[in-house]
Amino acid sequence: MYRLRTLFTVFATTLLVGLFVAGCSSGDEDNAPAAAGSGGAGESQAEPGSNIIQQQFDLSMTFTSPVFNEKRRIPKVHTCIGGKVDRSGQSDKTGEMFARSNLGGKDAQNLSPPLAWSGAPEGTQSFALIVYSTENLASDEPWIHWVIWNIPAEVTELAEGVEELETLENGASQGLNGGGVVGYLGPCPPPLISRHASVPGGGSNPKQEIEKYYFEIYALDGKLALAAGATRGELLQAMDGHILAGGALVGERQGPLKLQLSPGGS
């Protein structure tokens, strides 16, 4: 068990694979194995960005999902791949392209995945959840996929497809994701560029990176006086000093494969 002063470390793992493997494990494959080295609850981590938690707490909670883990990638149904999502930012209404209602593709539902946690310490009065990644290539700040707080202490799991509402039936509040929409925003990994170059003896030398998605659960000593629709930064500030324990879960998702021929490539 490790102690941490800042939020969990965002790290990137580079995976060297053959072009055939890259194609087989692209966004169409839900059961493709995750890259080795994924983090999890109990690891000491530090998140990039200016928003940090100053207090110390233990990563003693267990945080899991029945649909993904270190060996199985986040299924496509829980992503925003495909559909009408346009990550170019061209939209008449800010954030509209990131809403579930704007997804029309057969392979993208943007449903939040089922999650479960255990090991909350005595005195826990509520839970908070944050999901983020670094898939937004235009910024050094983490891309926020979900913020939810005031989950009742007796709740230890969330079912698939939490509604995009500011206040849920169980009293929990949801905030804004990176697209400016309340609720869950699934992984939208950018296209995977495979560079096909000549190597001694023929063949190829592709290189790829798999996007990682960081799920964090916090056990709090009370409920937060934070209005629904708040940002991740506001949530971090509100719960700093009230965290009894935490847990972490890392998922992976790969964007669609695109081949880019390098000079001299075959």
* Structure tokens that stand for 97 in this block: 């392209």
> CA triplet 244, 250, 253: central angle to 5 degrees?
150
Q: Report residue 225 CA to chain centroid gap.
A: 25
CA 155 – CA 170 distance, rounded (Å): 9
HSE on the CB side for 24, CA within 13 Å? Answer: 9
Q: What is the pTM of this model?
A: 0.71
Q: Going residue by residue through the chain, which has 266 residues, state the pLDDT in tens, using 9 for 90 and above.
A: 444 333 333 333 333 333 333 333 334 456 555 443 333 333 333 343 336 889 999 999 999 999 999 888 999 889 886 444 444 444 444 455 566 666 555 556 789 999 999 999 999 999 999 999 988 766 778 999 999 999 999 999 999 999 999 999 999 999 999 888 899 999 887 766 665 544 455 444 344 567 899 999 999 999 999 999 999 999 999 999 999 999 999 999 877 666 665 555 44
Contact 216, 247 (CB under 8 A): yes
Q: Which domains does the chain have, with CATH numbers?
A: 3-261 (3.90.280.10)
Contact 175, 230 (CB under 8 A): yes
Evaluated on CA atoms 135, 94, 182, 222, the torsion sign reads positive
- pLDDT score, position 13: 36
- pLDDT score, position 247: 97
> Nearest-CA neighbor of 2 among 63, 64, 46, 48?
46
Residue type at 174 in one-letter notation: Q
Q: Which contiguous run of DSSP H or E holds residue 233?
A: helix 232-239
Q: Report residue 266 CA to chain centroid gap.
A: 36
Contact 228, 163 (CB under 8 A): no
* Structure tokens that stand for 243 in this block: 């965290």
* Structure tokens that stand for 89 in this block: 């930012």
- pLDDT score, position 132: 95
Q: Which contiguous run of DSSP H or E holds residue 237?
A: helix 232-239
Q: Which contiguous run of DSSP H or E holds residue 234?
A: helix 232-239
> Nearest-CA neighbor of 258 among 193, 196, 203, 202?
193
